[in-house]
Amino acid sequence: MTERNFMEMLKARWAEGKFVCVGLDPDFDKIPRHIKEKHVDSGFVSKNTAVKEFLRAIITATDDLVCAYKPNAAFFEGLSENGGSTLRDAMLNVKSLARFDVPIIYDAKRADIGNTNRGYVESAFGVYGADAITISPYFGREAVQPFLDCTNKGIIVLCRTSNPGADEFQDLLVEGQGPVYRVVAQNVANEWNSNGNCLLVVGATTPDELADVRGVVGDIPILIPGIGAQGGDLEAAVRNGMDSEGKGFIINVSRSVLYASSDEDFAEAARAEVLRLNNAITEVLEAAR
């Protein structure tokens, strides 16, 4: 079997006008009650089986509309000691249930010294079967080289994140080079991306910084979180994040899709929200042409 190539799958989805990535971030408290009630055994609710059913329904309802899925490690690790199994199940479901070749981004934000990173590489791509992973640049290229060497995988580097406190370090000025986030963007574009498999994370909550990074990195793809619950503006994110071909960006959404409804129509509501976002993105792109 030919190994899945993240960039090829991503570009194929873009060619179909799909730019929305659904974050698979299961919050057990927000899962519809009717699903949780089905998994009650002697007064104990099996979180993992309820989450599995919930995510299977979300994937089945949206797979033809998305450019990627992005399970976040923290939400699975916090479920129970079986959270890793549920995470692997979610990734396997994308591959088996999805009617289209949809890539999987493992949102793990890994980084450590080189020896440890080799273990993270095997975990992400060997055990879980992810097509891409988010990493922190803090340890430098030498340490993250085991990730960069995975030529068929997407290596998504944190650059200017969407959280309110991101400016504490990311906006600090480096003499002669500008803010730290721009230094990260420059290094990824000029030094790290020799295999053409790097992407950057830049939040929709800072549209000026997003435009700045796009100007620095050329057509390197950008993963854009912060739309929806975090208050980022979709139109600004698309206009500032798109590349020279009007593509090159991934709009990540999670809560607004997963929990669009708490009733039995939750999957249909999730699909409707992704459709709404796709239509809104298309309108921005058409207006920008």
Instruction: Write the pLDDT tens digit of every residue in 224-262.
Output: 999 977 889 999 999 999 999 999 999 999 999 999 999
- Is residue 35 a part of any domain in this protein? yes
What pLDDT, on a 0 to 100 scale, did the predictor assign at position 202? 98
What pLDDT, on a 0 to 100 scale, did the predictor assign at position 44? 59
Q: Is the pLDDT at 75 greater than 80, yes or no? A: yes
Residue 1 — very low, low, confident or very high, per pLDDT cuts 50/70/90?
Answer: very low
CA distance 23 to 43: 30
CA distance 120 to 187: 22
The bridge status of strand 68-71 relative to strand 154-160 is unpaired
Residue 223 — very low, low, confident or very high, per pLDDT cuts 50/70/90?
Answer: very high
pLDDT, one tens digit per residue, over 112-137 is: 988 899 999 999 999 999 999 999 99
Residue 80 is part of which domain span?
A: 6-288
What pLDDT, on a 0 to 100 scale, did the predictor assign at position 77? 87
Could you tell me which of 88, 107, 125, 92 has the C-alpha nearest to residue 5? 125
- Is residue 1 a part of any domain in this protein? no
What CATH code is carried by the domain that includes residue 180? Answer: 3.20.20.70
- Is residue 196 a part of any domain in this protein? yes
| Residues forming the active site | 109
pLDDT, one tens digit per residue, over 190-210 is: 999 999 999 999 999 999 999
Helical residues (DSSP H) of the chain, grouped into ranges: 6-15, 33-38, 47-62, 73-77, 83-97, 114-121, 141-148, 167-170, 180-187, 207-217, 234-241, 255-258, 266-288
- Is residue 160 a part of any domain in this protein? yes
Residue 43 — very low, low, confident or very high, per pLDDT cuts 50/70/90?
Answer: low
Instruction: Name the domain count of the chain.
Output: 1
Percent of residues, the chain, with pLDDT higher than 70: 97
- Is residue 12 a part of any domain in this protein? yes
Q: Is the pLDDT at 275 greater than 70, yes or no? A: yes
